[in-house]
Amino acid sequence: MKNPPALEQLIDSLRCLPGVGPKSAQRMAYYLLQRDRNGASALSAALETALEVVDHCKLCNTFSEQPICPLCAADNRDKNLLCVVEMPTDLLMLENTHAFMGMYFVLMGRLSPLDGIGPKEIHLDKLIKRAQDGLVNEVILATNYTVEGEATAHYISELLKTRGIKTSRIARGMPMGGEIEYVDSGTLAQAMMERRNV
Amino acid sequence: MKNPPALEQLIDSLRCLPGVGPKSAQRMAYYLLQRDRNGASALSAALETALEVVDHCKLCNTFSEQPICPLCAADNRDKNLLCVVEMPTDLLMLENTHAFMGMYFVLMGRLSPLDGIGPKEIHLDKLIKRAQDGLVNEVILATNYTVEGEATAHYISELLKTRGIKTSRIARGMPMGGEIEYVDSGTLAQAMMERRNV
Ligand SMILES: [Zn+2]
Ligand SMILES: [Zn+2]
């Protein structure tokens, strides 16, 4: 005895969401079918649209609906500075501080060998190429001050230094183990100003 | 500065899932677009199909792709017994014990006034009508032995008794506060056999 096939299929499909196990997928499916059919329909459409229109910016690698994202295409940014962050959220957080007017590169992750995330998964080839466009003269590493974020910054700084590219790290203005996404603007702005060579 | 519109829309839409807040919706959206586009596409399709084909059985109220579900339509069930459960999962659990060969009614919830779930939300009109089909001669209340499940059973038993319908409650074979979904088959089978009049 099982749920109807289309319901089982929905429960299965919900399990592709990170952190969602069989029990919670079932609870979600029941909830959607019973109490929020409009929400379910909107979610289906939003998934389809996002898959269709959202890709990665060719320059900074963040999510974008254009080949070059609005920030990379803007003409009021300092093309000499390239700030490397782990995730798009980190970019948005830094923008909100108004402490940085340069360009970005988004790794879409951090080195994490145990999870199978190596240099390729965080697009380091693309970063190296980006940093050698002839305009960038300093790469600011703004990965998190976690163990993995630190290891990632160290790895990238080695790569860049062998290519003669000046590299700095945002100052440790945040608490140890802290993640950029959760730090207040003031602290983050200070960390940006006090960046040091590495 | 924000995410691209289609990505913001996806993050918003994911929040219709129970237990998913803004941070976790964002994490899910990033994950899907970056690492599991096939899963996202399958989820979109599964939502659409389920919304289209899954409705409630006219007799037992469980999720069904047919107007009358296969269990209600089967000719080898005892039409004199009607077992009332909270959720479709509970029905599936009871079926797995093979201790019951009667019919079911699925409330799709439990009374919970604080959450705005009253008699109407758990389809008690439909249940009363179902219990008076002329064949049912005993309604077995198999709601959970939680505070809300107990209150629901009590409320339903009062409704049925004023209509002269014999009502029983599955025996407390399970631990206090236990939920049917998590109890082993043997305990559940025993509880079914030892049901008592209420
Ligand atoms: Zn860009
Ligand atoms: Zn049915």
Q: Return residues 96-125 of B near A (CB < 8 Å).
A: 96, 108-109
pLDDT average, residue stretch B26-39:
94
- Using the predicted structure, report yes or no on whether residue A59 has a pLDDT greater than 60: yes
**Mean pLDDT of all residues in B48-67:** 96
Q: Which residues pair with A78 in a beta bridge?
A: A102
Instruction: Give pLDDT tens digits for A26-57.
Output: 999 999 999 999 999 999 999 999 999 999 99
- Residue A1 scores a pLDDT above 80: no
Smallest CA–CA distance from B107 into chain A, residue: A34
Please give the mean pLDDT across all residues of chain A: 89
Distance, in Å, from the CA atom of B31 to the CA atom of A127, rounded to the nearest integer, reads 21
Q: Which of residues 12-71 of A touch B (CB under 8 A)?
A: 12-14, 16-19, 24, 26-34, 36-37, 39-54, 63-65, 69, 71
Residue in chain A closest to B87 (alpha carbons) equals: A30
Q: What percent of chain B shows pLDDT beyond 90?
A: 72
**A30: closest CA among B11, B18, B65?**
B18
Q: Which CATH code fits B5-53?
A: 1.10.8.420
Q: Do B2 and A92 touch (CB under 8 A)?
A: yes
Q: How far apart are CA A84 and CA A64, in angstroms?
A: 17
Residue type for position B152: T
CA–CA dist A50, B10 (Å, integer): 7
The answer for A110, left when phi > 0, alpha when psi is -120 to 50, beta otherwise, is beta
Q: How far apart are CA A144 and CA A156, in angstroms?
A: 13
**What is the reported pLDDT for B192?**
66
CA distance B104 to chain A (A): 14
Q: Which residues pair with A130 in a beta bridge?
A: none
Contact residues on chain A for B3, CB-CB shorter than 8 A: 63, 88, 92
What ipTM does the predicted assembly reach?
0.78
A140 vs B170, more confident: A140
Tell me if domain B5-53 and domain B63-169 are identical in fold.
no
- Chain A residue with minimal CA distance to B55? A33
What is the per-residue pLDDT across A157-180, written as a single tens digit (0 to 9) for each?
A: 999 999 999 999 887 654 556 576
pLDDT at A97: 83
Whether domain A63-169 has CATH 3.40.1360.10 = yes
Mutate which: A2, A17, A53, A98, vs B, most B CBs within 10 A: A17
Look at residue B43 and tell me whether its pLDDT is greater than 90. yes
For the cut 60, the answer to whether the pLDDT of residue A142 exceeds it is yes
Residues 141-170 (A) with a CB less than 8 A from some CB of B: none
Minimum-distance CB partner of A17 among B4, B28, B46: B28
The whole-angstrom distance between A162's CA and the closest CA on chain B is: 30
Strands (E), A37-166: 55-56, 63-64, 78-85, 102-106, 138-141
Confidence of residue A195 (pLDDT cuts 50, 70, 90): low
By CB neighbour count within 10 A (0-12 exposed, 13-18 middle, 19+ buried), where does B74 fall? exposed
Chosen for mutation from B1, B14, B17 (greatest number of chain A CBs closer than 10 Å) is B17
CA of B115 to the centre of ligand 2 (A): 27
User: Which residues lie below 8 Å from residue A107, measured CB to CB, with a gap of 6+?
Assistant: A61, A84, A85, A86, A87, A122, A123, A124, A127, A143, A152
B-interface mutation test, from A13, A90, A95, most B Cβ less than 10 A away: A13
Q: Are strands B138-141 and B167-169 parallel, antiparallel or unpaired?
A: parallel
CA distance B98 to B190: 11
Residue B178's pLDDT is 58
Q: Does B126 touch chain A (CB under 8 A)?
A: no
pLDDT band at residue B151 using 50, 70 and 90 as cut-offs: very high
Which residues have their alpha-adjacent CB atom under 5 A from ion ligand 2? B 57, 59-60, 69, 72
Res. B124: pLDDT tops 70: yes
Q: How far is B164 from chain A (nearest CA, A)?
A: 31
Give residues with Cβ within 8 angstroms of B94, minimum separation 6. B83, B85, B100, B104, B142, B180, B188, B192
pLDDT confidence of residue B10 = 97
Q: What ranges do the domains of chain B cover?
A: 5-53, 63-169
Residue B53: which pLDDT band, with cuts at 50, 70 and 90?
very high
Which of A184-188, B1-5, B68-72: highest mean pLDDT?
Answer: B68-72
Residue A2 — very low, low, confident or very high, per pLDDT cuts 50/70/90? Answer: confident
Which ligand has its closest atom nearest to the C-alpha of B126? 2
The shortest CB-CB distance from B49 to any of A6, A52, A54 is to A6
| Mean pLDDT, residues B113-135 | 93
| pLDDT tens figures, A87-123 | 998 898 888 888 889 999 999 999 998 989 999 999 9
pLDDT the model gives residue B172 = 64
Residue B52: closest CA among chain A residues belongs to which residue?
A6
